[in-house]
Structure 1
Amino acid sequence: MQNKLLTYDEVLEETKENKRFLLLGNGFSMAYNKDRFSFTSLFQSAVDKGLIDSKSPMYEIFKDFDTTDFEEIIKNLEISIKVFNAYKILKDEDANMIYTDAIKLKEHLVDIITNNHPEKITDISEEEFEHSINFVKNYDSVYTLNYDLLLYWTTMKLEDYKDNEMIKNIKLEIGDGFSDLENDNKDYVVFTNSGKNSRYQKNFYLHGALHIFDNKYEIIKNTYSRTKKTLKEQTLENLKKEIYPIFVSEGTSSQKKSKIIHNAYLNHCYRSLKALGGKNSLIIFGTMLKTNDEHIQDAIMESNIKKIYIGIGSIDKTSELDAFVEKAIKHDKKVYFYDYRSVKVWR
């Protein structure tokens, strides 16, 4: 067991001979603004803010279905209206009440996920982006558990900086699996990067992201460059068309994994994590991979990655990861710890 933490520079030095992969948790977003991104439960946040009354039928439905997934409840409310109407057992006023609650939930969802989020990329300073770009540029691929747009915006800026030669020695390529195909005149691009083309994808949103939507028969990505609309405007417009953002925000590990394997995009990203291998290294920043992320632990263990570096705040924190270390040893992997405070993420 280590008796002192490595510095981040020492991690980069130790891993320079082979490929590096980065796994980000909420600490990446909290490093930008702790107040904006410190909450962990969308459902509890909605209850705390009074958006969902703990004595309301809406609250009871969440509890009865044993879920905190807004999309699941919204769809169930809308389906129930159709079923009750078909059996002619629903009065107009009852149908209106259920329909109104479904609309409210959509509005709540938009409010919760956008109110604390920077409205546009220009809200973040160039100096802050320089730090975040210098952080991610050292990796061959980046995997993230976050569904906010900070990594997406960072990679957009990285492309600009690379083209203008403002930052040197960039390893990370800008590929997220979305492309134009025949949609040149659309407001969105489509996820096409699977199978033999998967090698071109370098950024993976393991729990989805606010700019990625399920358009029933295709996975799409909205872009500000095409719509000139903010995240909030795009999200609200899509929800009105029953196009939902793909993100896994909460729940147990098994609930998260169930949602992942039933979505083509999420499952592709998850399988990519499991396929990492060789003499390469995985650097983890901003997450301790606790019980509600055991599915991510399992994917890492299933991979052929041999070295894992985890960022923590003090040497005493290593005991909280004893179970993870034991699991890693059984899978012929070595775990090292570094001081996450030695990383200049945003400033």
Structure 2
Amino acid sequence: MPIEILDFAEAIAKAKNYGKKHLLLGNGFSIACRPDIFAYGSLFEEAKRTMSVELAGIFTAMGTQDFEEVIRALQKAAAIVGVYRPKLLATKNLLLADAEKLKTDLIQAVAGRHPARPNEIADERYISCRIFLSKFVGENENGKIYTMNYDLLLYWALMHEEEDELARIALIHDDGFRKDQEDYDAPYVEWQGERAAHGQNIHYLHGALHLFDAGHQLQKYTWVNTGKALVDQANEALKKNLFPVFVAEGDSKSKLTKIQHSAYLHHNFKSFAGVCQTNSKDGTALFVYGHSFAKNDAHVLNLIGQGKIVHLFVSLYGDPDSNANQLIRNNVDKIVGLRPKGPALKVDYFDAASAEVWG
């Protein structure tokens, strides 16, 4: 059955009827900026350079370039070996070790293929992105932004400022990080969940490349404090076997387990859950841009159907009847079916290209 596809401006106009509107970003946000880098195929080719013959063979045997799918397969294979051949402990441990190795390969691939510095992206593209973001965290908005991406594009766009003050796009954003009160000159800022989380409106649901777990604190390295590009900092940390806070688990349950073992990630997850359960006077709208609604993110997406969001706006790229978009629509229908008794979840689709997220 044909569906109506709204222009992004039309979708925003519809959402003005609600008290709040929030934004959830998927990998399509990054692909729209640099499809040559952030498509899975590119990451795979980069990671394959340091991949063992066995791991590369698993990708071939499974006919996929999806890191998460292979990680999940390795973890399940280890569980199965433990049942069928409990004495093959070395094999079980090797499978689990390769799953961890693949996570490392993925992080290194992302860091290595990521634009090295913010200025590799043209100012005009940042302006377009900031205009898009302003619909949710602009001066007269009170929304929140949630992202499942771990690259730096959102962070760079938020920190970018137009040179012409008269043309400056005002964004109200707070990721909860502040100066370390015990080391004010430190080359990083720390997440202050106890003191700053209330005003936080930028949430990395699956972590990010510039966030490092230092044990007693979560640190965010910034160019302002170090003079080094963020990706350079990430690469230096990787050489020291220090890794970003990064969810690379394969399936939704494993992702949720990782999230629940991190105070920062759990806070972000609870914030999104809270948004989904909010029953404000004028209702709440949620925009989802660049996500396929695949089940490996069900821990986040199911909250939409199970909650009280009044209106869901979902981006589609290209022909709405293409196989990929049909799959998205079917997945969204499943989310709608989770809604408990009460008013049904309204759904509108909008043309991703019309949002001109990166120009």
Name the TM-score class by shorter chain. Answer: 0.7 to 0.9
Contact 2:177 2:196 in 1 (8 A): no
After TM superposition, give the deviation of residue 301 of structure 1 in Å.
3.3
Q: CA deviation at 1:236?
A: 3.1
Q: Is the 8 A contact 2:311 2:346 kept in 1?
A: yes
- Aligned counterpart in structure 1 of residue 354 of structure 2, from 329, 333, 342: 342
Distance in 1 (alpha carbons) for counterparts of 2:341 and 2:49: 47
Residue 212 of structure 1 contacts residue 221 of structure 1 at CA under 8 Å; is this kept in 2? Answer: yes
Q: What is the CA-CA distance between 1:110 and the residue it aligns to?
A: 5.6
Match of 1:294 among 298, 302, 324: 298
For 2:204, give the aligned amino acid. Answer: Y
Task: Tell me the residue number matched to 2:87.
Answer: none
Q: Distance in 1 between matches of 2:294 and 2:41?
A: 13
Provide the rounded CA distance (Å) in 2 between the counterparts of 1:324 and 1:40. Answer: 28
Aligned to 1:229: 228
Structure 1 residues 64, 136: CA separation in 2 closer, same or farther (over 3 Å shift)? closer
Q: Distance in 2 between matches of 1:311 and 1:24?
A: 10
Whether 1:312 and 2:351 are equivalent positions in the alignment is no
Residue 247 of structure 1: aligned partner: 246
> Runs of 5+ in structure 1 lacking a partner?
69-79, 81-100
Query: Given that residues 302 and 335 in structure 2 are in contact (C-alpha distance below 8 angstroms), is that contact kept between their aligned partners in structure 1?
Result: no
Residue 153 of structure 2 is aligned to residue 150 of structure 1: yes
How far apart, CA to CA, are the structure 2 residues paired with 1:114 and 1:301?
34
Give the secondary structure class of the aligned counterpart of 1:304: coil
Report what 2:24 is aligned to.
Answer: 23
Deviation at 1:67, TM superposition (A): 9.3
Instruction: Give 3-state SS (helix, strand or coil) of 1:266's partner.
Output: helix
SS state of the match for residue 138, structure 1? helix
Residues 180 and 40 (structure 1), Cα distance of their counterparts in 2 relative to 1, 3 Å cut: farther
CA contact (8 A) 1:224 1:230 kept: yes
What root-mean-square deviation, in Å, do the aligned CA atoms of Structure 1 and Structure 2 show? 3.5
> Paired residue for 2:192?
192
| Aligned CA distance change for structure 1 residues 257 and 137 (closer, same or farther; 3 Å) | same
Equivalent residue for 2:165? 164
Whichever residue aligns with residue 149 of structure 1, its letter is L
How far apart, CA to CA, are the structure 2 residues paired with 1:319 and 1:244?
36
Q: Residues 154-211 of structure 1, C-alpha deviation per residue, up to 9 Å, x if partnerless? A: 1001xx349934235x4x41200100141321111000034x7423111100011000
Runs of 4+ in 1 over 6 A off after TM superposition: 104-107
Unaligned 5+ segments in structure 2 are 59-70, 79-89, 91-97, 137-142
Identity of aligned residues (%): 33
**Do structure 1's residue 281 and structure 2's residue 296 form an aligned pair?**
no
Counterparts of residues 1-347 of structure 1 (less than 5 Å): 3-17=3-17, 18-39=19-40, 49-55=48-54, 65-66=75-76, 108=105, 111-139=108-136, 140-157=143-160, 160-161=161-162, 164-168=165-169, 170=170, 172-182=171-181, 183-194=183-194, 197-276=196-275, 277=278, 278=280, 279-313=283-317, 314-316=319-321, 317=326, 318-328=329-339, 332=343, 333-347=345-359
Normalising by structure 2, we get a TM-score of 0.76
Q: Give yes or no for contact 2:30–2:153 (8 Å, CA) kept in 1.
A: yes
TM-score (norm 1): 0.78
**Aligned amino acid, residue 21 of structure 1:** H
* Pair 39,122 (structure 1): closer, same or farther in 2 beyond 3 Å: same
Q: Return closer, same or farther for 1:307/1:40 CA change in 2, 3 Å cut-off.
A: farther
Comparing 246-255 with 296-305, greater Cα deviation is found at 296-305
What SS does the corresponding residue of 1:137 show, helix, strand or coil?
A: helix
2:290 maps to amino acid = G
Which amino acid letter does the alignment assign opposite residue 55 of structure 1? E
Contact 2:5 2:349 in 1 (8 A): yes
Cα gap change, 1:105/1:21 in structure 2, threshold over 3 Å: closer, same or farther?
closer
> Deviation per CA, 1:198-237, whole angstroms, max 9, x where unpaired?
2311110001100011111111100111112223431233
* Number of aligned positions between the proteins: 310
Evaluate the alpha carbon distance shift between residue 303 and residue 2 of structure 1 in structure 2; reply closer, same or farther with a 3 A threshold.
farther
> Cα–Cα, structure 1 residues 270 and 23, in superposed 2: closer, same or farther, change >3 Å?
same
Give, in angstroms, the shift of residue 331 of structure 1.
6.7
